[in-house]
Every structure is written in structure tokens, then in C-alpha cells.
Structure 1
């Protein structure tokens, strides 16, 4: 069984909107629905769980009915942080999923998701136990000098770097055990940590899967405008 865990528990303060960014309408449809549709329409995804911002659960269920997202089976309350939200979503599957079932973790505000990305992350996770979508890093990275932060004498060769985002996929047994370990030890759960960084801190070797430059996270108003243009072009193409 392959299940998607969609993380939609944030408030999106940097977007500068009155409502959470995952519920902002784009082309008369909320952002979260575009994300859900990517998994609803994918043949390798059997069911969907959404970890939702508290107080918005019924709104989410109403949208799922309106837009015929019938793979949505579970709605779980989000936590105080991103890692707590993912943990809540993972723990909800205890006693439901088998250890070898695949959990695909994805940000609810990454709505421009190509089906090929989902296909590859599931494929790699089935073969190797986990997978993280990734892309080459095409800019030069320099290290700030410790004594003079306005200068540098060191750089990191970009050939040694990968940009990693969601979706990520893990066998449920690995995902569940590592979240228990992380919260028991207080490792990989603070700040900007996500499942992938937590896994590495707990000694897990991660496997790269195919990514996409279009799969951006909607964080700023500029990101939202880019998504509006994409959605308008897609809708016109589908007419």
C-alpha cells in the first residue's frame, strides 16, 4: 500500500495573507486542492492523509467532497511545529499500515507536482527503503569567513551538492521507528528540521529520486504569483 501524508498544518505568516496559504484560492480553487489532485490522480497512490491546521479540518473535508478527492481517508490535527505535524501523521498509521507499506511525505503548499516525481520517489523507496526528491545545485556556494563576514576564501563545489525537497518516501516501519527515536532523544526535531534531516542525524543513508524545478514551495507572495500564472496556463491548456 502506498499512502500520501500531506502536511498542511502551517499558518504561512510570510505570505502576508489573512488565511493560511494552503487555503488561498487560485483560480477559484484552494492551493491544497491542487496538491491533493496530484495524488488523487496518480495510479500508485492508494490513499491520502492530510495533517491539517487545527480548526480547518471541516473546511478541508468540504473541499475534498467538492473536488471529489475520494482518496482522502484521514485528517489529522497538526502539531506546534512541522516535525510535530509529520509525527502526528505517522503515528496515526500505527496499527493501520504494514512495515513495508510506503509513506509519501509532501508539503501541502507544493502544488506544482509532476506525476513523474511521485512515480520515481515511490519506485526508489520500494527498492531501497527510502527516497528523497532532489535536483542539482546550479549556483556557486561560498563560505562566509569567520573573522570577516563580508569576505570569503572558501567555496563548496556545486557538483557535490543536491537540493532536496518533498515528496519524500519511506517504508512505514523505518519512518515510525525513527520518529519515536527522534522525539525520545530530542534529535532532528527542532528549527527547520524535516524528515530527511532527521533521518540523516539518526544515521540513515538517504537515496536520491528525480525532482523538478517547478516543484517550488509557496512561501512568499512572489511564489504565489508564479503559481497563479502556472495554474492559469494549465487551465487554459486543459480547456
Structure 2
């Protein structure tokens, strides 16, 4: 199978959008637009790797957006999109992939089938782009009046990804320095490369204005009608120590929790809740306590794995809720940090995360301060598959 790298172009400032943040870092259904654009390629079987081109001034925003994804360092973009793409291609020279897919970070609704069609077309053509045949009647205007109808028979609307044989498009971009070309297909055409048109999914829109983001969210959520709820429960006993891990936060205490990993009951319960939504067993199925590699492990790895399984199914985590049951330590002073940390691990907005705490009024093992328990609930939205 040929090696294929997806180059996600995220260097724009989004000035037309009019928001405080560049549009690629705004949230779409709880996750940044950039993350939504990256994940279909990251999980696609025909894509060997993903690289992202960014404006270096947005490095912190980028790191927040892709937290937990297995991505190499981003590539520094240029003053124009064409410059940014060329910088991205030059950064791939040492890896020499067979194929490259160039995709706009502002197109978060690309689907796996469109990616597959573009890649497969490159077996016969030097270039191939996702596109949609023009359906609207076109009018030529003169002085604000209709001056005739334009034949739309052979007209298509170009979208991304746009795929090419790597060596060909790199050479074409080097030849096009200084030209102001509208997309990578135009760069290829300028160099004499044939470019095939393949059907794009109709929802593969570009987020340019604020209305586009609202429409993209409606489209995205409309395809996620399989709404599931899962629950999780976990217990760990106290042992000698000076802190406990709760919901991803290190909390000072007179004891610690005993367990094979870091014994974070909050993250363990929530991991099980998300796995329950997917019908994927429990945390022990994925991370057996008998496996020495998980000894002392950060439980964030377990929760992130569960979130990745949701993303691979094309779903979203709509909301999570964790309740800690203990007499001590007090959760209240750390609640905000816990919410922020779990939101970061899951890649969702803090408003979609809830942390609560209660005691058992001195009853049971938690009332006797022998350990801590946690229960969790998660709501996940998935596309219908059966």
C-alpha cells in the first residue's frame, strides 16, 4: 500500500469570520474545528500520517485543540495559503511519502468515503480533488441585471481534500512560487498535471462565516441520532501516602489510594461509563491490572483511549458527570481544576463536564474513611450503523 500523508492547512487567521479566535480553533459540537478536521484522516486506514501547518503565533491554541492526539510537531505556515502548503510539502521531503492529501482545517465535515475516493483515484491520475457538480442555475450579470444564463454542465465546486502524487505536487508548488493561485489543483494544472474530479460528501462545507459554523454543527449533530448513556463505578482503598489522584488532579491528603495504576477512582469510573456507551467492556478489558506496563500509569491514558474509541466511530461525547463519595479529602476546592482537566483529556468544552461530591454520613467503608468510591455517567452520540 502506498504511503499517504494528510497535510492539514490551519495557518489562516479567519479574519472574515469576525471572532476573537481564528475559526479553526472555535468549537464545533464540543470540540475545536481543527480537531474535527484532523480526526477523519488520523483514523483512516489509507492515511499513513497527519501533519498540520499552523501560524506559529497560534501554537498554544493548536496544542489545546489537538491535546491527546498522536501528532508530530506542527509545521510553520507562510503569509499565504499557497506558501503554507509549500512549507508543509517541504517539511515532508525527508519522509518522501508516495501520496499527499491537502485539506483545509476549516472543513470539519469531510467523511471517510470522500477521503477513500480521492486516494484511490491517485492510482490512475497524478492528482484528484473532492468536488461537487454545480446544481444551481448560473447567471451572468451586467449592471445588476441578468445578462444571460451560463451553461453549468461541466462546472464543479472544488473542495478538499485534494490529493496528489507527492513528487509531482512538490515540483509544481516550487514552480508556482510568486503566483497567486486559488487552490492546489490550480497549482497542479499550471504544471500540466491532469487532475481528476471525484464526488465529495455534500456536507463537506468550508467554515468561513459565523453562519457556516452554526450550519456545520446542525449537520454534524443531525447524523448522530444514536444517543447512548453509560455508567461506571470504581472503588479504591487507602494506604500509606501523602496525596490522592482524583479526576486527574493531585490532591494533598494524609493517605493515598492503592491500585495498580494511579488509582484515580474518578477517571476509572468515567472510563467505564464511556466504554459502556460503546459496548466495549470495561477498563480491565483494555488495560488489564495483570499487565506490568500499566503499573503506576496515569489514568488519563485510559480515559483518552475511551474518548478515542468514540471519535473513531464518528461520535461525540455530549456530557459526562462524576460523583466522588468520600469523607476526606474535600473535593470542593479542587472541583474547577478537575472539570478543566477532564475536559482537556476528553477534548470537549468544560461546560460538558460535571464533578460532584458527597459523603455517606459516616456509613460504610467510605464513612469509616477506609477508601474512596466514584460513580459516573456519560452520554455519547453516535451515527446509526445498524
Coarse TM-score class (shorter-chain normalised): 0.7 to 0.9
- Matched-pair contact (CA < 8 Å) for 1:47–1:73: no
* Other-structure match for 1:166: 160
Gaps of 5+ in 2: 227-314, 316-379, 381-386
* Other-structure match for 2:151: 157
SS in structure 1 of the partner of residue 57 of structure 2: coil
Q: Count residues with an aligned counterpart.
A: 226
Q: Is residue 228 of structure 1 aligned with residue 217 of structure 2?
A: yes
Q: How far apart are the structure 2 equivalents of 1:126 and 1:50?
A: 25
Q: How far apart are the structure 2 equivalents of 1:108 and 1:150?
A: 35
Task: Report which of the two has the higher share of helix.
Answer: 1
* Other-structure match for 1:85: 84
- Matched-pair contact (CA < 8 Å) for 1:110–1:216: yes
Q: Deviations over 1:57-114 (max 9, x none)?
A: 3442343333xx22x224101111111111111111122215xx11000000100011
Question: What does residue range 27-176 of structure 1 map to in structure 2 within 5 Å?
Answer: 27-66=29-68, 69-70=69-70, 72-98=71-97, 101-145=98-142, 149-176=143-170
Across the aligned residues of Structure 1 and Structure 2, the Cα RMSD in angstroms comes to 1.8
Gaps of 5+ in 1: none
* Other-structure match for 1:8: 10
- Matched-pair contact (CA < 8 Å) for 2:44–2:112: yes
The one of the two structures with greater contact order (alpha-carbon pairs below 8 A, sep at least 6) is: 1
Change in 2 beyond 3 A, CA 1:155/1:74: farther
Change in 2 beyond 3 A, CA 1:228/1:207: same
Q: TM-score, normalised by structure 1?
A: 0.88
- Matched-pair contact (CA < 8 Å) for 1:49–1:73: yes
- Matched-pair contact (CA < 8 Å) for 1:102–1:126: no
SS in structure 2 of the partner of residue 19 of structure 1: coil
Q: How far apart are the structure 1 equivalents of 2:193 and 2:90?
A: 20
Task: Report which of the two has the higher share of strand.
Answer: 2
Q: Deviations over 1:128-177 (max 9, x none)?
A: 121011111011112234xxx23344332111211111010000111110
Q: How far apart are the structure 2 equivalents of 1:54 and 1:157?
A: 44
Q: TM-score, normalised by structure 2?
A: 0.56
Q: Is residue 209 of structure 1 aligned with residue 198 of structure 2?
A: yes
The CA deviation at 1:200 is 2.0
- Matched-pair contact (CA < 8 Å) for 2:16–2:208: yes
Change in 2 beyond 3 A, CA 1:162/1:40: same
